[in-house]
Amino acid sequence: MSKVVPTQAFDGQKPGTSGLRKKVKVFQQTHYAENFIQSIFDSLDGFAGKTLVLGGDGRYYNPEVIQTAIRMAAANGFGRVLVGRGGLLSTPAASNVIRKYQAFGGIILSASHNQGGPEGDFGIKYNTGNGGPAPERITDAIFAHSQKITTYRITDTPDVDLNTLGKTSVESMTVEVIDPVADYAELMQQLFDFDAIRAMFQSGFRMRFDAMHAITGPYAHAILEGLLGAPAGTVVNGTPLPDFGGHHPDPNLVHAKELYDLMMSPDAPDFGAASDGDGDRNLIIGRNIFVTPSDSLALLAANAHLAKGYAKGLAGIARSMPTSAAADRVAERLGIKCFETPTGWKFFGNLLDANMATICGEESAGTGSNHVREKDGLWAVLLWLNILAVRGESMEAIVKAHWASYGRNYYTRHDYEEVDADGAKRLIQSLRDRFATLPGTHGIVAADDFSYLDPVDGSLTDSQGIRLMFGEGTRIVFRLSGTGTAGATLRVYIERYEAEPSRHGLDPQVALADLITLARNIASIQAHTGRVSPDVIT
Ligand code: G16
């Protein structure tokens, strides 16, 4: 039986860069998740009888909220729910299922790379019928509804068995439990030359994929070790755990240090990769060489034509503003456009739908293409494998040849995590207040706050990050993260272009040392945050 439950609005249900992310304990408050899910439904029109896709990254509290979402979808009038077995779907796989089965939309339970477990984070996000994260007009509406909500609708049916594939019903709604991997694996085979990659493994190519005890484990086992014949043991930490084994499922040089150390050791395999909590991020490391996400985007774009799914070439490239301009140089040479968007995959959706961009990427370890409307960790790994199989060269040789040809964009990001939110806001404001006076000092030629006019729907998004530009591809960017759940996280992005190959061999922290010091001083980071040094350097 469907019922209407009285509730009261909670403060702060405003979706951030990617959905609503809060501590598990916040989500566990009575009615909290229900309020947000009802606010999603209240922001949408015309879904009666339609299909909703449901899945999550398997983190702590996923099983409870999946059942809640099913009951609420039934009470709100959806006709069918497609849910991954065990309540699991990686974010890119969910995007694919939405598109493939022409669902009305989907709800993904994930806090991505944030820590899991009872003391960790949880999250809910809504994706629209194109498979992509809801655009701002919808997330704004969700927030508005969450502030005035007084009731939500839910059935009082028992839990659905999500471990058995097949159909059941909740009231008049069909619940179909699907294999979370099958549709995704099929799509990957359409894009990439699996025979060539399999042959490469057969000839002794070695890789390690660290699934970080998160959602990509089952996908990587099935695709890398199953379909592509990589030796068993290629995938490590491949069993998803509710607390990710106590680790932080963020594929960067800090949290995937073991992989990095292996790749820099004499016994390194040819190729190393990792993915995050919900499977949309990637970390790429060759033997003896770390490839920054910004460089990876540029290299993938430059070589994508080697994979059958992109043999016809790219319509365009898109990158988020803080991502380095390495991809712009590739676009220029290919004679296509490179779009610069705010941080957040949702901003790529319109460009992909309008076929203005084919490949997109972000400095935050996200790359993807028009095959789905989310970034896709395993996709990036498979495209790299396809390129390696065709070119037959080492990662190091490919990356160095790319730099020699295009120049190198030295790049680093310094994160100051969980700092005082007011101090962080003051830091940003104090930079804004100096836009008129900074140019002409320290070699700065321009200073602004990035804003984006969407070329497809004309929407304007402002206040997306402070840019200090020094000319010739050198810049410092300051921005506050939109994905944290405690205090504020200050991100400082530093970039310098170097054309001369004889100067391509430096450690980025050395190549950028003067800019790193300048960034600290110019923004008075210690005075505003109390921090002397960053928590994470990538
Ligand atoms: C999300 C967004 C990305 C964004 C990243 C970092 O990724 O989807 O577009 O680049 O957060 O955002 P911020 O710098 O605001 O923390 P994910 O993998 O967390 O869903």
The phi, psi pair for 93, rounded to 5°, reads -65, -40
Residue 370 has pLDDT above 90, yes or no: yes
Question: How far is ligand 1, taken at its centre, from the CA of residue 173, in Å?
Answer: 33
- The DSSP code for 242 is T
- CB within 8 Å of 479: residues ≥ 6 apart: 322, 343, 464, 465, 466, 490, 491, 493
Residue 484 has pLDDT above 90, yes or no: no
From atom 19 of ligand 1, which residue's Cα is the shortest distance away? 112
Atom of ligand 1 nearest to the CA of 374: 8
pLDDT-based confidence at residue 358 (cuts at 50, 70, 90): very high
From the CA atom positions of the chain, what is the Rg in Å?
23
Using a 6 Å cutoff on CB, does residue 345 contact ligand 1?
A: yes
Question: How far is ligand 1, taken at its centre, from the CA of residue 394, in Å?
Answer: 30
Q: pLDDT, tens digit, for every residue of 514-524?
A: 999 999 999 99
Residue 116, number of CB atoms within 10 A of its CB: 30
Check residue 156 and give its pLDDT: 95
For ligand 1, mutation pick of 275, 364, 464 (most atoms within 8 Å of CB): 364
Check residue 16 and give its pLDDT: 84
Q: 413 and 363 in contact (C-beta within 8 Å)?
A: yes
Residue by residue, DSSP assigns 83-150 as EEEEEE--HHHHHHHHHHTT-SEEEEE--TTS--STTSEEEEEEEETTSSBPPHHHHHHHHHHHHH--
Check residue 98 and give its pLDDT: 98
For range 10-17, the mean pLDDT: 91
Q: pLDDT, tens digit, for every residue of 303-323?
A: 999 999 999 999 999 999 999
Question: How far is ligand 1, taken at its centre, from the CA of residue 492, in Å?
Answer: 15
Active site residue 146: no
Q: pLDDT, tens digit, for every residue of 415-470?
A: 999 999 999 999 999 999 999 999 999 999 999 999 999 999 999 999 999 999 99
- CB within 8 Å of 235: residues ≥ 6 apart: 209, 211, 217, 220, 221, 224, 225
For ligand 1, mutation pick of 115, 248, 283, 483 (most atoms within 8 Å of CB): 483
Residues 44, 46, 47, CA angle at the centre, nearest 5°?
Answer: 80
Residues 242, 245, 251, CA angle at the centre, nearest 5°?
Answer: 100
Check residue 486 and give its pLDDT: 79
For ligand 1, mutation pick of 95, 121, 343, 414 (most atoms within 8 Å of CB): 343
Q: 286 and 272 in contact (C-beta within 8 Å)?
A: yes
Place of tokens 């495209």: 383
Residue 13 has pLDDT above 80, yes or no: yes
Q: What whole-number distance in Å separates Cα of residue 367 and Cα of residue 267?
A: 28
For range 34-48, the mean pLDDT: 97
For ligand 1, mutation pick of 17, 91, 95, 126 (most atoms within 8 Å of CB): 17
Question: How far is ligand 1, taken at its centre, from the CA of residue 195, in Å?
Answer: 34
Check residue 490 and give its pLDDT: 96
Using a 6 Å cutoff on CB, does residue 125 contact ligand 1?
A: no
For ligand 1, mutation pick of 57, 255, 323, 345 (most atoms within 8 Å of CB): 345
pLDDT-based confidence at residue 65 (cuts at 50, 70, 90): very high
For residue 511, give the amino acid letter.
Answer: A
pLDDT-based confidence at residue 92 (cuts at 50, 70, 90): very high
The residue from 110, 112, 146, 275 that is catalytic is 112
pLDDT-based confidence at residue 296 (cuts at 50, 70, 90): very high
Using a 6 Å cutoff on CB, does residue 415 contact ligand 1?
A: no
Q: Which of 212, 17, 42 has the alpha carbon at shortest distance from 134?
A: 17
Using a 6 Å cutoff on CB, does residue 58 contact ligand 1?
A: no
Looking only at Cα atoms, what is the longest distance across the chain? 72
**Percent of the chain predicted with pLDDT > 90:** 95
Mean pLDDT of the chain: 96
Using a 6 Å cutoff on CB, does residue 386 contact ligand 1?
A: no
Using a 6 Å cutoff on CB, does residue 461 contact ligand 1?
A: no
Atom of ligand 1 nearest to the CA of 16: 15
Q: What whole-number distance in Å separates Cα of residue 529 and Cα of residue 414?
A: 14
List the beta bridge partners of residue 446: 469
- The DSSP code for 221 is I
Decide: helix, strand or coil at residue 263. helix
List the beta bridge partners of residue 180: none
Half-sphere exposure of 98 (CA within 13 A, CB side): 29
Domains in the chain (CATH in brackets) are: 2-179 (3.40.120.10), 184-406 (3.40.120.10), 408-537 (3.30.310.50)
Q: 48 and 187 in contact (C-beta within 8 Å)?
A: no
Q: Which of 313, 305, 317 has the alpha carbon at shortest distance from 390?
A: 305
From atom 4 of ligand 1, which residue's Cα is the shortest distance away? 344
For residue 206, give Cα distances in angstroms to 260, 271, 394, 414: 15, 7, 12, 32
From atom 3 of ligand 1, which residue's Cα is the shortest distance away? 344
Residue 101 has pLDDT above 90, yes or no: yes
Check residue 183 and give its pLDDT: 97
What pTM, to 2 d.p., does this model score? 0.94
Using a 6 Å cutoff on CB, does residue 508 contact ligand 1?
A: no
Question: How far is ligand 1, taken at its centre, from the CA of residue 410, in Å?
Answer: 21
For range 203-230, the mean pLDDT: 97
* Region of 187 on the Ramachandran plot (φ > 0 left; ψ -120 to 50 alpha; else beta): alpha
Q: 65 and 125 in contact (C-beta within 8 Å)?
A: no
For residue 510, give Cα distances in angstroms to 66, 384, 516: 47, 28, 9
From atom 17 of ligand 1, which residue's Cα is the shortest distance away? 112
Using a 6 Å cutoff on CB, does residue 110 contact ligand 1?
A: no
- The DSSP code for 227 is I
Atom of ligand 1 nearest to the CA of 364: 10
Rounded to the nearest 10 degrees, the angle between the axes of helix 182-191 and helix 377-391 is 30
Question: How far is ligand 1, taken at its centre, from the CA of residue 364, in Å?
Answer: 7
Q: pLDDT, tens digit, for every residue of 127-161?
A: 999 999 998 899 999 999 999 999 999 999 999 99
Q: 492 and 523 in contact (C-beta within 8 Å)?
A: yes
For range 83-105, the mean pLDDT: 97
Question: How far is ligand 1, taken at its centre, from the CA of residue 481, in Å?
Answer: 8
Question: How far is ligand 1, taken at its centre, from the CA of residue 482, in Å?
Answer: 7
Check residue 482 and give its pLDDT: 81
Atom of ligand 1 nearest to the CA of 277: 18
Q: What whole-number distance in Å separates Cα of residue 537 and Cα of residue 455?
A: 33
Check residue 253 and give its pLDDT: 87
Q: Which of 248, 536, 196, 259 has the alpha carbon at shortest distance from 390?
A: 196
